[in-house]
Amino acid sequence: MTVSEAAGEASVDRLRAWRGGPRLGTAYYNEYLPDPSRLETDLRLMSEAGITCIRVGESVWSTWEPRDGEFDLEWLTPVLDGAHAHGIDVILGTPTYAVPPWLAAKHPEVAVARKDGSTVPWGGRQEVDYTSGTFLRYAERVIRAVLGRHGRHPAIVGVQLDNEAGLHLIHNEHVVARFRRWVAGRYGDVDTLNREWGLTYWSHRIADWDELWAPAGNTTPAYDLAWRRFQAELTAEFIGWQAGIARELVEPDTFLTTCIAYQRPAMDDVAIGAALDIASGNAYYLAQESLDLDRTGAGGQWYADDVPQLILSVDRMRGTQQAPFLVTETGAASIGPAWLTRPPYDGQLAQAAWLMVARGARLVSYWHWHTLHSGAEVHWGGILGHDLAPGRIHGEIAGIGRQFAAAAEWLADAEPDADVALVHAHDSEWMMQFEPPLSAGGDAPDRASYGRIVGAFGRAAVDAGRQIAHVNERQLPSAADLARRYPVVIVAGLVAASDRTLDVLAEYARLGGRLIVGPRTGYGDEEGRMRASTAPAVLGPAAGVRYREFAALAEPVAVETASGASSGEPAAASGHAHGWMDALEADGAEVLLRFRHPHYGRWAAVTRRAAGEGAITVVGTLLDRSLLAAVMTDAAGPASIVSPLAARPSTVTAHSLVGGRGRVWVVHNWSGSPCTVRLRRAVASVVDDTAHGEDADVELAPWDVRIWSEA
C-alpha cells in the first residue's frame, strides 16, 4: 500500500468513526463574549456537559478581514488550541454569508436585486448576490486566508461552507441574462419553448431569446417553475464552488458540510447534498405545549410547532443524502425573537435530542453556547444565559451527554428504521407557491400549501404509529427497489410529476406496495403544465378512479363512510374535509368515504383498489386529523416493524434504529401527563440498569423518553 493510499484509508476510517455518534455540540463564539478571556471556563463547562464538538467562525467576515485585504487570522488560534486540549472537535465555517460593511460600501452592485427592482439593503446578512464575479473574488480570498491558516489544525474535523444559503431569489440583471441562456440551452430553440410553455396564451410567444421577459412580470406557471429550478441550481453551484476551494486547504479526512435551512426559497437540498460529505441543517421547534402530541400546530413556519412537524423535519434531513446527518442548529433555552420565548419544560430537551438521534442524527448541536448580549438575537436563549453561569439548561444537556455516552455502543453506526416513504418534491412545492390551492384565510392564498398537504399526510403516518423516511422525488429508485425498501409509500400534492415518476409509483403498487395518493397528485406534468388527460394521470387507471372537477373548499365539508352515505344508516366513520377536494369518481375502485353535502355528495372522498399484488388508496381531500389517521392506519395495513409496545397511548411514539448490537427503541411520552404503556416483549434500558419483562406495565413520566434494547 502506498503512502497516499494509507492516508486515504485513514481518512475514511476517521470520518466513519466521527459519523458513528451520537454527539453533542454547540455553536461557540468566543469573539462575541463580553470577556473572551473566559475561554478556559467555557471549554471546561462544555466538557462537563459532554459537548465534544463546537462550530466556529462562520459569521464574522469583518473580524477575519476588518479592512479590504487586511486580515486578522490569529484570534481563533487560542480557541482551536484550547478545544484540541479538551478533546473537543471543531467545525470551522467559511464566513461568506455575512459580508463586511467595507465590501458593501465599495461594491454596492453585489447587493441582491429583488423582483421589484429594489436591492436588499446592507444591515442584516445574506444581502449579497453570490453569483457575482466581484463577490466571488472577495469570497475566495477570505476562504483561502481562513482555511489556509486554520484548515489543517488538528482540532478541525469539518468545514461548514457558508450558512443557510438560498434566502433570496436573485433578480440582478446578469442573473436574468444567464437565466435566458439557461433556458436556451435547455430547450434548444424558441419554437420548442413556445410549445412547451404554452406561450400562445396572452401573446407570449417569443421570436428570439432576448424577448424572454424578466421574471418580475411573469404570469406563466412553466416559466416560474424553470426560474425556481434555475435559482436552486445557483445555490447548489455556490456551495459546490466553495467545496472545491476548501478541499484543497484541509486534510483528506476533514468533512465538508453546510447548514441547510430547509425553508429557503432558492434551495434544493438534494442538489446541495451532492456537494457535501455529510448533510446538516436546522431543526428548530417550539417547546412547552407545542410538544404535546395531541396538539396540531399551524405549520408553514421556519420552526416546527407540533411534534409531527419536528419528526418530519429531522426525517427530511436524513432524506437529503439518504444517510446519517448532523443537526447543526437546534434550540437550547429558546428560539427566535422575544415573543417566541418558550423555554423547554423539564425533560423536553432530552426528548428532542433523542428524537433527532432516533432518525439518524450523528450530532445534536445547540444554537448557541451563550445567550448573546448584543445584536439581533439577544433573546435566542443559549445553553448559558446572559449571566454566563451554568443553570437548568446546562444541567439538562449534561444529562443528555451522559445518556449519549452510555448508549454509544448500541448506537454507533445505527441506522433508523422506516416502514413508510413520504415523497417530497421541490417542483410541486414551487408550483404551489406560485399558484396555491389552499387559502390562508379569506381571499389570501397560502403559499405554504404544499407543506400543509404533505405535512397532513406525514402527521397521519405519525399518528398511525409509523416510522417515516423522506424520499425526494429526484431520488426515487426503480419500482422494484422502492417495493423492497418500503411497504408503504405516501405521495400527496405531487402536482408537477413526470410520467416516469407516476409510472414508478403505479408499478410499485403492482409489485406489492401499498400506495397512498393525496390530492393534486398527477394533475400537472414536469413542465408545470396542466395535463390534457383525465386526472389523476397514469395512476388513475391503476387506482380505478378519475376526476374531472375539483374545488377549493371555503368551509369544511362533512364526510362519512360510503355505506352511511348511500343507505342512510349511521356512518361507521365520519369527520370533515377541508381546504381542497378532487371530485373522485370510482371506476373500479371501492368507495370508502363520501362527502355528505347536497352538491359534493355525488363524489367520493377516499377510494381503494387492489393493483397487482398491492393496493392504491386515493385520498382526494384533506381530512381532519383523527379521520386521516384512521384512513392511514387502514391503508397502510399491518406494521412491518412491530414495536415492543402492546398498547400505545395517543401521546406516545416509538422509533427504532438498528446497529451492530441490535435494535434500539426510542419511546417518547409527548405529554405533560404521565401515561402507562404495556409491553409485548421484554426490554432493557441502554442508558441505565432498568429492565422490564414481557407484559409489564411501564409508567412514562411527563415529557419522558426511554431508550430500550430488546432482551
75 pLDDT more than 50: yes
pTM for this prediction: 0.95
Q: Please, which pLDDT band fits residue 710 given cuts at 50, 70 and 90? A: confident
For range 94-118, the mean pLDDT: 97
For range 577-598, the mean pLDDT: 97
16 pLDDT more than 80: no
Integer Rg of the chain from CA = 26
Alpha helices (H) along 254-388: 269-273, 307-321, 348-358
- How far apart CA 79 and CA 493 sit, in angstroms, is 48
> Do residues 581 and 559 make contact, with C-beta atoms less than 8 angstroms apart?
no
677 Cβ neighbours under 8 A, 6+ residues apart: 645, 646, 647, 648, 649, 652, 667, 697, 698, 700
pLDDT at 441: 85
- How far apart CA 461 and CA 628 sit, in angstroms, is 9
pLDDT at 210: 95
378 pLDDT more than 80: yes
- How far apart CA 346 and CA 24 sit, in angstroms, is 18
Distances 263 to 267, 282, 283, 300, 552 between C-alpha atoms, Å = 8, 10, 11, 9, 25
96 pLDDT more than 50: yes
Q: Please, which pLDDT band fits residue 562 given cuts at 50, 70 and 90? A: confident
What secondary structure does DSSP assign to 661-701, as a single string?
TEEEEEEEE-SSS-EEEEESS-EEESSSS-EE-TT-EEEEP
pLDDT in tens, 203-238: 999 999 999 999 999 999 999 999 999 999 999 999
- SS3 of 580, please? strand
Query: Omega of the bond prior to 536 within 30 degrees of 0, cis?
Result: yes
> Do residues 652 and 670 make contact, with C-beta atoms less than 8 angstroms apart?
yes
252 pLDDT more than 80: yes
DSSP state for residue 475 in the 8-state scheme? G
CB count within 10 Å of CB 90 equals 24
pLDDT at 21: 76
- How far apart CA 622 and CA 572 sit, in angstroms, is 19
For range 396-422, the mean pLDDT: 96
Strand-pairing partners, residue 330, are: 366
> Do residues 244 and 149 make contact, with C-beta atoms less than 8 angstroms apart?
no
> Do residues 266 and 170 make contact, with C-beta atoms less than 8 angstroms apart?
yes
Question: Hey, CA dihedral for 162, 163, 165, 170, is it positive or negative?
Answer: negative
- How far apart CA 570 and CA 560 sit, in angstroms, is 9
pLDDT at 15: 57
12 pLDDT more than 90: no
pLDDT at 570: 39
Strand-pairing partners, residue 114, are: none
pLDDT in tens, 308-317: 999 999 999 9
pLDDT in tens, 467-503: 999 999 999 999 999 999 999 999 999 999 999 999 9
pLDDT in tens, 535-546: 999 999 999 999
Q: Please, which pLDDT band fits residue 611 given cuts at 50, 70 and 90? A: very high
Q: What is the 3-state secondary structure (H, E, C) of 99-127?
A: CCHHHHHHCHHHECECCCCCECCCCCCCC
pLDDT in tens, 615-665: 999 999 999 999 999 999 999 999 999 999 998 999 999 999 999 899 999
Alpha helices (H) along 250-273: 269-273
- How far apart CA 132 and CA 6 sit, in angstroms, is 40
514 pLDDT more than 50: yes
- How far apart CA 711 and CA 707 sit, in angstroms, is 13
Residue (of 520, 473, 528, 480) closest to 501 by Cα position: 473
pLDDT at 18: 63
pLDDT at 308: 97
What is the rounded average pLDDT for all residues in the chain? 94
% of the chain with per-residue pLDDT over 90: 93
Q: Please, which pLDDT band fits residue 574 given cuts at 50, 70 and 90? A: confident
pLDDT at 569: 41
573 pLDDT more than 90: no
Amino acid sitting at position 257: T
Region of 200 (left: φ > 0; alpha: ψ -120 to 50; beta: rest) is: alpha
- How far apart CA 158 and CA 369 sit, in angstroms, is 19
87 Cβ neighbours under 8 A, 6+ residues apart: 47, 52
280: its cell numbers:
446538516
Strand-pairing partners, residue 158, are: 91, 255
188 pLDDT more than 60: yes
Residue (of 3, 79, 83, 92) closest to 37 by Cα position: 79
Give the DSSP H or E segment for 252.
none
pLDDT at 17: 58
- How far apart CA 358 and CA 356 sit, in angstroms, is 5
Distances 50 to 42, 325, 365 between C-alpha atoms, Å = 12, 19, 12
